[in-house]
Amino acid sequence: MASAPTPGYEPFRPRFARWVSLGVMWLVVVGTVVVVLLSRNLARGDQVGFVAFGALVAWFCWREASVSAKPDDEGLTVRNLVVTTRLQWAEVVAVRFGDGNAWVQLDIANGDTLAVMGIQRADKDFAQDEARRLATLVAEHSRTERDT
């Protein structure tokens, strides 16, 4: 059994998109089963294709529901829709959540930008609070002796 994360180090996960994605996933799974069971006159290949398509859509919804950013003492693991990226705290230069961004954006020391889909604008005030929490973690872990 996994231990509870240290306070302040809880994973960043969206709320609205997570519940919608999980709901759609279950609708697709149940709908696929019902359609396949009710369409016995379809060819076996068509049924297999329908199940495969339903499974692909369900997997995509599950993946969308599982986006997150998991902080720890060493850094941040960002799991987006397709790619998971591990960053050390020193690599994160800034946390941005401007009006036009659907997700928090991290400015990385190598000049790249990384979206953090685990903090989504659709969550409104919760997303703003989570963006502040992430920015606080970045600031705490990037302090130098000069800062104190």
Q: Sketch the domain layout of the chain as residue ranges.
A: 16-65, 68-147
For the domain covering 68-147, report its CATH number. Answer: 2.30.29
Looking at residue 117, what is its pLDDT?
Answer: 95
Closest by Cα among 94, 88, 118 to 106: 94
pLDDT in tens, 2-39: 565 677 789 999 998 889 999 999 999 999 999 888 88
Looking at residue 147, what is its pLDDT?
Answer: 46
Closest by Cα among 25, 10, 17, 9 to 102: 17
* Residues listed for the chain: 148
Looking at residue 2, what is its pLDDT?
Answer: 57
Helix (H, G, I), strand (E, B) or coil at 118: strand
Cα distance between the two ends of the chain: 38
> In one letter, which amino acid is 110?
N
pLDDT in tens, 121-130: 999 999 999 9
pLDDT in tens, 38-85: 887 888 888 899 899 999 999 999 999 999 999 999 999 999 999 999
Q: Give the residue ranges of DSSP H helices in 39-72.
A: 44-65
